[in-house]
Amino acid sequence: MKILVIGNFSSAYVEQSWGAPLRKRRNTQVVDIIPLLSQGFQHGESAEGYVLSLLRQGDFDLFFFYSDGIQTLFPESFFDAVRAIRVPILTFHADDEPEKQFELNSRHDARFDIIASCSARAHARRARASSSHSLYLPWGFNPDNFYPVPTSGYDYDLVFIGKHKVGGKNAPTNEDGIERQQILVELKEFADRAGIRFAVFGMDWDQHPILKEVDGGALNHDEMLSVYGRSKLVFNPGWSFDSGVHNYQIKLRHFEVAGCRACQITNHNPELAELFRPNEEVLFYRDLESLKDTILHYLQADETREAIAEAGYLRALREHTMGHRLDDLFEECARLFPPSASPLQTTPQVIRVIVGACAPGNPHARDCLQIERMDDLFRPDIAEQLPNGGYVHLISGTILPLIRTTDYGSVLPMLARCKAPITHCDSLLRLPPLGKNPVQVDRGNFNGSTLNQARSLGLPPSIGAYFEEMVISGRNYFQINLLFAAHLFKSAAPDPLDSLDRNDIYESQRLICDLDIPQRGPAFKTCLNQRLADAFCAIEQLELKYVVWGAAGEMSIILPCWIDDHPSGFLGYLDRSLAGQSKGGHIIHSPERLDELQPDLVFIAATISGPTIFESMRDQRARYLLLPLYDLNHRNWFCGFS
């Protein structure tokens, strides 16, 4: 089965738990959609268009839309287009409880042919009510990231690892923050009386008036594994939200803790008890008193406690890795939607060639041919190692440590049909984040660009120095973005590259490398600022009138400075819930006044409801130009603002 997966793989936990295991599977192509949504792609080509192009050309049997963090960022028309390609659509709901979250997910369920849920109860409800196929898929863990680490003994009797959900500047959320606080305070007081070494780790516990006394600070990943190994017991509750009732929920962390060979105590959970044997592989409690009794008992029963940790670890490795989950998931998908009986398209082999010295042990150097300089490829003993009918990807040894991933899946179908001896691709550059992104908060704090785009935006010399360039037919190309037909280096003709012209280079616009640039310094001019600069230039030059739909939320934060610079055409905000109030001295209107205001442009700044607002105004698009801030690649940004 050939599968295309898109998701928010810029999120560390999504990449660790799903992205990395998926990339290990044959015939599975993984696309991190966040950079494409955040920055724009290939001079305005939308992320939607990129994905649809992959689906059209790739002969995929299944499209896996990993919904966490991107559910609201794609319109219904995108899923209609996928269906027109006749590829079944799978999703996984990573958070399907409490009721509010279930309702949010259910609004979009009609998009999907197969819906997998980490909640057995949500799966049962959906199976009764939905026309889509519903699957129960509990969380699993990635053993490459969570594993036992050697320790010299126990430094803690009892620990809790997790953020303070009600702290600092954060208001109480619809999660389990208050319930979590209350029981941790009880445990702290109990530990003080009993002489138990208790600590809490995670963000913002230093701001809690009581628990700051046992705050161990925020941990990086390696430190977290170490704390698990140095703790006798891990308090690891799983509630779905603050309800006044202990409402259980299976969490990813239940499997990760077991994968670290730690003995965990969690609240009563019938679903988890189906996956780990109670009191043999995991410890459960029902109330505060039973929790205290369990802690006291197992702190004294060293052999039993360590046997439970070992048994939970072996169970997790045997049955609950993400590899197991993906096998089960795709086996069921293949049963529901049998893959094409025709053989997979034969695609050419791409061999990576490292040019110059590279650090020993780099995982990206495995199965690579290494040469000192590019001219070595023309040596007969080297050229004969290149695949007949295949392609060569030249990677400088200085770039190798920067590579997150290389993936040729997006371009292989093109290479199978392409007659050009060189295929020009692109690479993704990720720079260190600059801090909170208040405008595109749902799309990750992404700072970067594609490499080809970066050249047009003004690539800082300090970053450009990483990349070798080649001149072919009078034009400069980044070497890492080129795939060369192997026969070029097997040719008897002298300097075959010198005889090429631009017709010999196919512009694929496919991403093949994902690179981490460690250097801070100037960020690229964001796609958002480019769009706004163009729009407000038109407002100034054409004397256009405009409104902003959405006076609250994250996306409206960036606009006031632009409005202050161009106040003459601004007619005010539109926001039904805030109508009659003001923002920055400007009136907030009810949307019903739109016809009365008669603007030329409508900026849609609503974060969650933006796509719905846009769709509701489709019949009015002849009267107003709608500019969606949630989709910076929409064609409306490129029509001259008239």
Kindly report, residue by residue over 422-450, the tens digit of the pLDDT: 999 999 988 776 554 444 444 555 777 78
Supply the pLDDT for residue 525.
44
pTM value is: 0.78
Helices 302-319, 288-300: axis angle to 10 degrees equals 100
- Please indicate, yes or no, if residue 220 is contained in any of the structural domains: yes
Asked if 507 and 538 sit in the same domain, the reply is no
Instruction: Look at residues 516, 549, 583 and tell me which one is the last residue of a structural domain.
Output: 516
Residue 52 CA to residue 70 CA, distance in Å, equals 16
Write out the H or E segment, with its range, that includes residue 198: strand 198-201
Supply the pLDDT for residue 619.
79
Supply the pLDDT for residue 259.
98
Asked if 196 and 305 sit in the same domain, the reply is yes
Statement: residue 470 has pLDDT above 50: yes
Residue pLDDT, tens place only, 295-349: 999 999 999 999 999 999 999 999 999 999 999 999 999 999 999 866 666 788 9
Supply the pLDDT for residue 246.
52
Asked if 123 and 204 sit in the same domain, the reply is no
Asked if 300 and 327 sit in the same domain, the reply is no
- Please indicate, yes or no, if residue 176 is contained in any of the structural domains: yes
Residue pLDDT, tens place only, 608-635: 678 888 888 877 777 889 998 877 767 8
The C-alpha angle 452, 490, 492, rounded to 5 degrees, equals 115
Interacting residues of 400 by C-beta distance below 8 A, sequence separation 6+: 354, 358, 359, 362, 364, 365
Higher pLDDT, 484 or 418: 484
Helices 76-84, 47-58: axis angle to 10 degrees equals 10
Statement: residue 460 has pLDDT above 90: no
Task: Find the domain containing 309 and state its range.
Answer: 156-319
- Please indicate, yes or no, if residue 345 is contained in any of the structural domains: no
Statement: residue 523 has pLDDT above 50: no
- For tokens 């020993």, name the residue: 360
Domain CATH code at residue 293: 3.40.50.2000
- Please indicate, yes or no, if residue 441 is contained in any of the structural domains: yes
98: preceding bond cis by omega (within 30 degrees): yes
Closest CA to 397 of 420, 378, 374: 374
Supply the pLDDT for residue 330.
98
Asked if 571 and 450 sit in the same domain, the reply is no
Ranking 187-196, 213-222, 556-565 by mean pLDDT, the lowest is 556-565
Residue 14 CA to residue 32 CA, distance in Å, equals 10
Asked if 251 and 275 sit in the same domain, the reply is yes
Supply the pLDDT for residue 499.
74
Supply the pLDDT for residue 172.
39
How many helices (H) and strands (E) would you count in the chain? 23, 27
Output b/e per residue, 516-536; b: 16+ Cβ within 10 A: ebeeeeeebebbbebbbeebb
Q: Counting beta carbons within 10 angstroms of the beta carbon of residue 223, is it exposed (0 to 12), middle (13 to 18) or buried (19 or more)?
A: middle
Asked if 195 and 310 sit in the same domain, the reply is yes
Supply the pLDDT for residue 168.
40
Domain CATH code at residue 16: 3.40.50.2300
Asked if 575 and 629 sit in the same domain, the reply is yes
Task: Please provide residue 151's backbone torsions phi and psi, each rounded to the nearest 5 degrees.
Answer: -135, 165
Instruction: Look at residues 497, 516, 535 and tell me which one is the last residue of a structural domain.
Output: 516
Residue 418: band (very low, low, confident or very high) from pLDDT cuts 50, 70, 90: confident
Instruction: Look at residues 467, 490, 516 and tell me which one is the last residue of a structural domain.
Output: 516
Statement: residue 545 has pLDDT above 90: yes
Residue 263 CA to residue 228 CA, distance in Å, equals 9
The DSSP code for 444 is -
Supply the pLDDT for residue 442.
45
Q: What is the mean pLDDT of residues 32-40?
A: 77
- Please indicate, yes or no, if residue 149 is contained in any of the structural domains: no
Identity (one letter) of the amino acid at 458? G
Asked if 164 and 310 sit in the same domain, the reply is yes
Asked if 285 and 197 sit in the same domain, the reply is yes
- Please indicate, yes or no, if residue 521 is contained in any of the structural domains: no
Asked if 160 and 70 sit in the same domain, the reply is no
- Please indicate, yes or no, if residue 148 is contained in any of the structural domains: no
Supply the pLDDT for residue 269.
94
- Please indicate, yes or no, if residue 262 is contained in any of the structural domains: yes
Residue pLDDT, tens place only, 358-416: 766 677 777 788 888 888 888 899 999 998 999 999 999 888 889 998 999 999 988 98
Ranking 108-122, 128-142, 172-186, 348-362 by mean pLDDT, the lowest is 172-186
Pairing relationship of beta strands 283-285 and 264-267 according to DSSP bridges: parallel
Supply the pLDDT for residue 343.
63
Supply the pLDDT for residue 611.
81
50-54, 103-107, 191-195, 406-410: which has the highest mean pLDDT?
191-195
Higher pLDDT, 169 or 138: 138
Residue 230 CA to residue 155 CA, distance in Å, equals 5
Identity (one letter) of the amino acid at 575? D
Residue 177: band (very low, low, confident or very high) from pLDDT cuts 50, 70, 90: low
147-161, 370-384, 500-514, 543-557: which has the highest mean pLDDT?
147-161
Counted domains in the chain:
4
Asked if 307 and 328 sit in the same domain, the reply is no
Domain CATH code at residue 600: 3.40.50.720
Ranking 53-57, 97-101, 102-106, 143-147 by mean pLDDT, the lowest is 97-101
Identity (one letter) of the amino acid at 142? N
39-53, 90-104, 118-132, 273-287: which has the highest mean pLDDT?
273-287
Task: Detail the DSSP E strand segments found in 247-332.
Answer: 264-267, 283-285
Statement: residue 40 has pLDDT above 60: no
Does the CA dihedral 235-241-243-247 come out positive or negative? negative
Statement: residue 44 has pLDDT above 70: no
